[in-house]
Every structure is written in C-alpha cells, then in structure tokens.
Amino acid sequence: MKTRAAVSYQPGEPLVIEELEMDEPKAGEVLVKVKAVGLCHSDYHVMAGNRPVGMRPMVLGHEGAGIVEKVGAGVTRFKTGDHVVLMFIPSCGKCQYCVSGMTHACVWAINISKGPQLDGTFRLRNKKGQDVGQFCLLGAFSEYVIANENSLCAIDTSYSFESACLVGCGVTGGYGAAVNRAKVTPGSSVLVIGVGGLGMNIVQGARLCGAAKIIAVDVVTKKLEWARSFGATHTIDAGKEDVVTRVMEMTNGVGVHFAFEAISDPKTIAQAFAATAKTGSIIVCGLTPSTVDSLPISPLQLVLMQKTLMGTIYGSSNAQVEIPKILSMYKGGQIKLDELVTRTYALKILSMYKGGQIKLDELVTRTYALDQINDGYADMNAGLNIRGVVRFD
C-alpha cells in the first residue's frame, strides 16, 4: 500500500512531503490510520540537526492518534476500528523497569532514534527504493503508521483525535513531570520556565497537585496570558525582567520549592537552579541539543543548599495507565484540552469539549494539513502556538 508522509532527508532542511510504499504489518504489529498528530519540539530537534538519529531518510512525528486499520498475526489487544494513541516509548513488559511499573524507562527506548522497527527491518520505502526510518518506531507524520502493538494505547471513541494525540507526549510528559517525578506537594510554590506544549501541562499538573503559587516564565506575552488560564498564579516576562530576581521577590527571598525547566537551555536550567529554595527540587524536562555536555551549576551550592537536580522523560509515567487516566480526567472536567483553537488552515476542527479544570483542546492553537507541516514548525518557532496539530481527513 501507499502512504503520504513528511520525510526528513537532511538536517536543517524542511520536511519533504512524498508518497511512500508501505509493507503489511508483521506479527505483533498494527496498521493505524493516523487522524491527528502534534507538532512537538522533539521532532524539530531532529529536523534541525540538534538531535542525531541513526539514519535518514526518516519519517518524523510521534505524538499521534488514529484508528486501527489492520492487525498482524498474534495481535490480540487491538482490533480493526479501535481508537488508539501512539506511545513514543514502547513497553516490552518484561525488563526490570517495566515490571517495576517504570515503562518510561523500558530497555526498548534505545531503539526509538535508530529508524528500523524492533526486528531491524523497515516498513517504508521511497520511490528510489531507499528504506525510510520511523522516528520513535512510529513516524506519525504519515497518513498510515505501522507500529508494534506495545507502542499503542487503546482509548474511548468519544475523544476528538486533536485532543487525544496530545496525550501521547506533551500532556503526559508535563502533567507527569509535576505529579509523578517531582511529586509537587499541596501548598507549595512552583516555577515553570517555558510554557509551550510541555510547560503548559506542567502548570496543569502543579495546579492539580494543589500548589499554592505557580509562576510561569516565557518571553511570549500571549503564552503568559494562556498560562494563567491553565492555572498559573503569577507570570514573568523573561525578555523584560530578571527571572531569578523576580522569583525571589515573589517568594520573600526564599525561592520556590519546585522549579521546572521546559526550554532545554543551559542558561534557563541555571536560572531554575538559582531560583530554587534550600532543599528544593529542579526538574529538567526538555531535550537539550546533543552538543550540550555541561551545566553552569555550582556543585558546592548543590551540597550546601541540599537541592535535588533531576531529569524526566514521558513524565516518568506508565503511559498505558496514564493516558486513559488523563483522558478520563479531561472528560470529567479536571484537565483542559479545549478553547485555544484560534485559527484553521485546510482542515475543519471538530467541535470542542467545553469547560473543565484541566484543558486539552485549549492546547491546540492551530491545525494544519500535512502539506503545511513546515508552516506549523515555523509558527512554533515564532511562539504562535501552544501546540500545532496536523489533522488528516
């Protein structure tokens, strides 16, 4: 069969939209018709050359949702017509991490940037006959995806695909960073540096944990306005104010209990460290370029101030459990996904679920056709979106 997809051929160059040949799903694999996919910064890092991958050409995209079209031999967990969210880290269910409930640390994660499927073979080829890789074993910037069944999570059919796809990465990653990794405590103070698709969900997670003070930091005024609607109690425009000085003023010179960095920059990680109180925690959530190999942080202060510096990926979540849980919270009015759709391009946006405490639909600032995917990333870099989403008919 054939599929249209956005392919990365060279770092630093726009994605190429082209038709690819796709094989049938093998044993343990599932063919998914993709309905929506988020434009995450992680894919842009690969596109820009900031994150090395095992090969090119490669179809990027990992934050997707769709409908099961066909299942391979031995697949029993899914059937044709099921709605699913794609998981960018599959879970083998057998390694020491999976059996401990830490599927985000599964040993299979080592394969997500290589290109081929878990068996070392490919499912996609271009017109020249070249094998084409699938980023995160998915390659979700495509009309169709073949994925291992362990890369999928079944969801209820009542959710719009634009909202559901976000839970595949950004929502689970941000919410989980606050709830699972940092374990933000009721009444505490929280700093979130960078309130894009990841940071906005850290704000949501901190609010659900009962944080009393949530300080959002960004250089885009509109994002700071959005952050207040998601639960931020205070905002700092980092382009106009010194972040550390303002945080200290807001916390009576003490600093925050929890500081999250969602920009992936050594400078802002250092700001998060400096703005954290004694015995506080600094949680680094974004992926820095692979060339960054050190942080401007004082080891002496780390000891004397008894601070904790930690990283997190996928919100330190068991995605098979967390994804349905977050969607259930959204349906129950605790997580927001609605209202921030401000503009459409080629595709019609489904009617949005209104109200609620946690937002999902609100995270979708714009939708794009596949042919407009490079425009979507330009908008992301210009700070126009919380999250852009490619919508397939």
Contact 68, 79 (CB under 8 A): yes
Separation of alpha carbons 287 and 166, rounded Å: 18
Mean pLDDT for the stretch of residues 70-82: 97
The residue to which tokens 């994150």 are assigned: 51
Q: Please work out, in degrees rounded to the nearest 5, the angle formed at the alpha carbon of residue 157 by the alpha carbons of 155 and 161.
A: 80
Residue 338 three-state SS: coil
| Chain centroid to CA 7 | 20
Give the single-character DSSP code of 38.
E
Give the single-character DSSP code of 23.
P
- For the entire predicted model, the pTM comes to 0.90
How would you label 245-254 residue by residue, b for 16+ Cβ within 10 Å and e otherwise?
ebbbebbeee
* Confidence at residue 358, expressed as pLDDT on a 0 to 100 scale: 57
- Give per-residue pLDDT as tens, 86-105: 999 999 999 999 999 999 99
- Give per-residue pLDDT as tens, 142-176: 999 999 999 999 999 999 999 899 999 999 999 99
Task: Give the DSSP H or E segment for 148.
Answer: strand 144-148
Mean pLDDT for the stretch of residues 51-61: 96
Closest CA to 214 of 245, 184, 190: 190
Q: Which domains does the chain have, with CATH numbers?
A: 2-155 (3.90.180.10), 174-312 (3.40.50.720)
- Give per-residue pLDDT as tens, 318-368: 999 999 999 998 888 888 865 333 222 222 222 223 334 456 777 888 999
Those residues whose C-beta lies under 8 Å from the C-beta of residue 370, and which sit 6 or more positions away, are 4, 5, 6, 17, 141, 143, 390, 392
* Confidence at residue 364, expressed as pLDDT on a 0 to 100 scale: 83
* Confidence at residue 336, expressed as pLDDT on a 0 to 100 scale: 81
Contact 271, 243 (CB under 8 A): yes
Helix axes 41-48, 373-381, angle to 10 degrees: 100
Separation of alpha carbons 181 and 117, rounded Å: 29
Contact 135, 61 (CB under 8 A): yes
Mean pLDDT for the stretch of residues 177-201: 96
Lowest mean per-residue pLDDT among 158-172, 182-196, 200-214: 158-172
Give the single-character DSSP code of 177.
I
- Give per-residue pLDDT as tens, 226-285: 999 999 999 999 999 999 999 999 999 999 999 999 998 999 999 999 999 999 999 999
Q: What percent of the chain has pLDDT over 70?
A: 94
